[in-house]
Structure 1
Amino acid sequence: MPGVTAQPTIGVLAVQGDVREHVRALEAAGAAAVTVRRPAELEAVDGLVIPGGESTTMDKLVRLFDLHAPLKARLEAGLPAYGSCAGMIMLADRILDGHRDQQTLGGLDITVRRNAFGRQVDSFEEDLHIRELGPQPVRAVFIRAPWVEQVGEAVDVLARVETGPAAGRIVAVRQGPLLATSFHPEVTGDHRFHQLFVEIVKEGA
């Protein structure tokens, strides 16, 4: 891994999804943000964000760009990574309701359910209280989001849905240097999740 200074270099996987929003959020959180489309670009980063988008399309493009094996290798070697929405699916070890040939990168000992909250029309927002981010609630935006059905013993649950029919469903987790959310903090202007990830990257230096 490259040497991490006070300003780590964090890549955003840029094959599909809301890349620009994550780049802006990372820069606001104090990181040097770069896009990653090729294996050589992956080797130059201290951490990686896998953005929201469409997980089956992202999986196909990662393989098309010859990134699947390098990504798995770096994750297995301890690369810090943060996945939001589709990125959570990409980091999960197991998927429910996935396409037949869909693959993940893995690393998080979780089982996720794709599109668990429903279709695009069922998108919603909710305030979540997350101890690791302080007393002020986080405004969570869920867009065709997954949720976590099962977690392994090494996984810390950071947030659950607090109201409505999905109350209690797990929507944010951490396992060592891996962080994942069902929702999209990059679209709200609240950069605390990205700040948390920047600190995780620094801790892993």
Structure 2
Amino acid sequence: MVKVGVIGLQGDVSEHIDAAKKALENLGVPGEVIWLRKQEQLEGISAVIVPGGESTTISRLMVKNDLFESIKKLGREGLPIMGTCAGLIMLSKEVIGATSGQRFLGLLDVRVNRNAYGRQVDSFEAPVKLAFSNEPFIGVFIRAPRIMGLLSGRVKPIAWLDDRIVGVEQGNVIGLEFHPELTDDTRVHEYFLGKVL
């Protein structure tokens, strides 16, 4: 049985839980989606989602709750991990505008600019092209980070806003600037969960 954990320390956790449950249902796969807060909950985990929120807070609380090193190790060992918005920042190797002492998992060979789109009032929705689907996906961008560069050939673009890369994949890891959990469309979660099946 598939067990998906959404890191539930800060951010839009319940939305990801609902989207992942719906995606499992659409795929016809039995499984559970849990609110992941403690290291012991990683036992038997099949995939992890790092939600949007505030990356400095998520980083600090992951360290405090003994999740940081465990998630990093599991990601290096091939556990499927998806990060959206602040989750993308957490997964990145290089972060422009990081706060002092902030730690990152470094599982994606990308450079991102934290809060590149501006303030909350600058949030927007726009059609995103996906590598794995012909239909556009409505991307919700909220104080989003911006992917400024791919740092190795191992990173593959999987989502574009016009001609700009807004989503990437590196083996078992996916990072997105936008929030797929804030729509009723589960294609991105289904694609991610395909890495478990």
Q: TM-score, normalised by structure 2?
A: 0.93
* Aligned-partner Cα distance in 2 for 1:131–1:42: 30
| Aligned pairs, number | 190
Partner of 1:143 in structure 2? 142
* Aligned-partner Cα distance in 2 for 1:142–1:96: 18
Superposition pairs of residues 42-121 of structure 1, within 5 angstroms? 42-121=42-121
Identity of aligned residues (%): 40
* Aligned-partner Cα distance in 2 for 1:186–1:49: 11
Superposition pairs of residues 102-181 of structure 1, within 5 angstroms? 102-132=102-132, 134-151=133-150, 152-162=152-162, 168-181=163-176
**Structure 1 stretches (4+) deviating beyond 2 angstroms?**
none
CA deviation map 1:137-186 (0-9, x unaligned): 10000000011111121000112221xxxxx4321000101011100010
Aligned 8 A contact 1:147 1:169 in 2: no
CA deviation map 1:102-137 (0-9, x unaligned): 1111211111110011111100110012131x2211
Alignment gaps of 5+ in structure 2: 25-30
**C-alpha root-mean-square deviation of aligned residues, in Å?**
1.1
Aligned 8 A contact 2:129 2:161 in 1: no
CA deviation map 1:30-63 (0-9, x unaligned): 1421111111102331100000000001011111
The SS at the match of 2:52 is coil
Out of 2, 17, 20, which is 1:23 matched to?
17
* Aligned-partner Cα distance in 1 for 2:17–2:51: 10
Aligned 8 A contact 2:127 2:137 in 1: yes
Q: Does 1:182 align with 2:182?
A: no
Higher strand share: 2
